[in-house]
Structure 1
Amino acid sequence: MTEPERDRAGSPPWPPREPPEEPGQALPGGQGPYGAGPQQGPVPPGGYGAPWPSQWGAQAPPPYQWGAQAPPPYQWQAPPAPWTAPPPPQTRYDRLARTALHRWWRPIVGTLGIVIAFLVMSLGVGLLAGLVSVIAGIPMAVDGSRLFIDPVVDLGFHLIVIALAIPLVFGAAWAFQRRPPGTVSSVAFRIRWRWLGWCLLVAVVAVVLGQLAESGTLTLTGVGAGYGWAGWAVFLPPMILILLLVPFQAAAEEYVFRGWILQSFGAYLRNPWPGVLLGSAAFAALHGYTDWGIAYVFGFGILMGWLAILTGGLEAPIALHATNNVVAFGLAAASGDMGGALEQGALPWQSIAGTAVQFAVYGVAIVIIARKRAIQTLSG
């Protein structure tokens, strides 16, 4: 039988291939479905062209339908701008409020916000103090200058109220001027604690020498110094309170008069002296001194403003202010005269001698040490 006859008789010229027994099984011999060649993967159930089941992998996306709306293109969104803006590099302390976000109204609105918030917080603290006095049985005074009959408790209340100005200044710098709150502290945007420690050492020396000069002048002119000693039992309780609260009270006054006011003027003017003079005048006006006392407080404000600009921060003003107040209140506590600790009034002319020594020693020493230690005076 010839080859064509065998073909017509049904005898195949090659052995037939057996189809897979189950869907998904590879063809024998590693062949593809349409001839020789390697099988690239399992056959889907239902044969080639059938959709893959979900358990075999991710479902393929549906084919594009004519007339359907195409997905929108990817939109790039910029990250939100930060709330605060730092001052430019190489900026002087009094100019730190002059940032890219500065507007003419920001220092004005911020000042009003501080004043209003301080009055509200003072009223709230006063109401809280009245509640505590009722619960604890602490008698309250009826006159306008004192809130409590106990002079130590009354002093503590006043110191706490004044210290509340610190968070108010920080909050106003952040909320109204939209700058880092640390810019009120220094050109490093924080309190430089090591430099503050050096300033405290100098302040102790300056205040002690000033007190000795004042006492010597009073003695030479035939006037008693007025210092006394009432005993440890009388001295220790108020002195502990003084050491705990006076640094915050002194720092709060510096943040307001040498920080906020000085930098608010610096946001408009390149010359720092209008801010220094106005801050010193406001500082003197809010104290109860008369006669030579006004000259002392006003001169103190000018020295502190000058040192803040010269050293690039509030560390030097805070150190002298806190040391001076601790010594002043401490002398009242040692004499047992805490009732007159908050009474300021007139100062004798002999106190000018002590003031001159204190200011001269502190100012000269701070300038020398700041230069030797290369204290940062401009923003980085």
Structure 2
Amino acid sequence: MHDPSQDRQPPQEPGPSGPGRSPVYPYYPGAQPWQGPPAPAPRVVPAPPGTRYDHLARTPEYRRWRTVVGTVVVAVAFVGSAYVVLLAAWIVALILGVRIIADGGERLFGDPVFEVAVLLLSIAVVLPAVYLTAWLVQRRPPGTLSSVLGRLRWRWLLTCVGVALVALVLGQTAMVGTYAVTGEDLGGLFGWVGWGRFLSGAVVIVLLVPFQAAAEEYVFRGWLLQAFGAFFTTPWPGILLGAAAFTSLHAYTDWGIIDVFSFGALMGWLAVRTGGLEAPIALHTVNNLVSFLPSAAAGELGDALRQGAVPWQALSGTVVQLGFFAVVVVIIAQKRAIPTVSR
């Protein structure tokens, strides 16, 4: 009797094709079904680990044109958003009956509190545009504008605020001492207008100044520093050019130019040295608060908007304040091992 099992043939190795012969392919028991197309590349790509703050724009997606286009977009947003806020402020002023001053002078509105709010908002609103540009144009995590960890380090920021307050007291003491020794008049600096008029201005200042100061740091010590850092090995071109751009937007003259430029240059160096914008934001915020609040207390908030000549005696306070802040921040950063490169 014929056994059907004898008809089964063992698997054959594939052979060449030819007349009357077809290749036989073996069966692979571990074969996996098709998994579909590969996953798309990520939308944003961070810089490699070990990257310094000013080089965080050097991601695998880095292209020179992205940096150039992004810088143009940030510049247009910085100017354009200010005009949009100003236009909206004029409309609100007309509705609320706030006097509009259109004489080409330094003042825009008759209400100094309203004017300060408009000024601070016109700068603060650029912050989302800087984040979006880093994400959409440079295709990198926007948090890398904040620090090498891709986020704002809040505990480190609060520590820097504490150091900034001490530096402020020391700087103001040095400045007042220099004014007193040289016979410079300090009249009107410590006036008091009363709680009724002070509180409205103080609330606006305390709420908006941190965002205004942070926006300027993200533009001049964040975006510009990293934009130039994408082209240069050393951070100094970005530090100096960012400080120059920062100074050009202020109307100070003579010694005031040195004051503002030295502040901008030191803040750029600290951003690289500490791996983020926390220290610059802290000192910038404290400085602006002390610029506005005493004027609001004296009932001269409109004078806080005026910029011009700065007496040389004021530089003594700047030297003490900036020197103390920089030294102490660097020492604390070293002791706490604050990250200065990406992970």
Is the TM value for this pair above 0.5? Answer: yes
The AA in structure 2 aligned to 1:312 is G
- Given the alignment, which residue of 343, 359, 368 partners 2:306? 343
Secondary structure of the residue that 1:105 maps to in structure 2?
Answer: helix
In the TM superposition, 1:278-293 aligns within 5 A as: 278-293=241-256
1:229 aligns to 2:191 (yes or no): yes
Q: Which moved more, 1:74-83 or 1:291-300?
A: 74-83
In the alignment, what sits opposite 2:42? 82
Q: Distance in 2 between matches of 1:301 and 1:123?
A: 25
Q: Give how far 1:265 is off.
A: 0.7
1:97 aligns to 2:57 (yes or no): yes
Q: Distance in 2 between matches of 1:303 and 1:336?
A: 32
Is the 2:53–2:147 contact (alpha carbons within 8 Å) kept by the matching residues of 1? Answer: yes
Q: Identify unmatched segments of 5+ residues in structure 2.
A: 1-32
Is the 2:52–2:272 contact (alpha carbons within 8 Å) kept by the matching residues of 1? Answer: yes
In the alignment, what sits opposite 1:57? none
Give 4+ residue runs of structure 1 displaced > 6 Å after superposition: none
Q: How many residues align?
A: 308
The AA in structure 2 aligned to 1:256 is V
The AA in structure 1 aligned to 2:126 is A
In the TM superposition, 1:352-371 aligns within 5 A as: 352-371=315-334
Secondary structure of the residue that 2:60 maps to in structure 1?
Answer: coil
In the alignment, what sits opposite 2:294? 331
Q: Identify unmatched segments of 5+ residues in structure 1.
A: 1-72
In the TM superposition, 1:153-302 aligns within 5 A as: 153-226=114-187, 227-230=189-192, 231-302=194-265
In the alignment, what sits opposite 2:20? none
The two structures have a TM-score, normalised by structure 1, of: 0.79
Q: Give how far 1:148 is off.
A: 1.7
The AA in structure 2 aligned to 1:97 is A
In the TM superposition, 1:33-112 aligns within 5 A as: 76-112=36-72
Q: Give how far 1:83 is off.
A: 1.1
Q: Distance in 2 between matches of 1:175 and 1:90?
A: 24
Higher relative helix content: 2
Q: Distance in 2 between matches of 1:339 and 1:75?
A: 67
> Measured at CA, do residues 240 and 75 of structure 1 come closer, stay the same or move farther in structure 2, by a change above 3 Å?
closer
Is the 2:101–2:107 contact (alpha carbons within 8 Å) kept by the matching residues of 1? Answer: yes
| Overall identity of the aligned pairs, in % | 56
1:130 aligns to 2:93 (yes or no): no
Task: Tell me how large the CA RMSD over aligned residues is.
Answer: 1.4
In the alignment, what sits opposite 1:151? 112
Q: Distance in 2 between matches of 1:103 and 1:290?
A: 38
Q: Give how far 1:165 is off.
A: 1.7
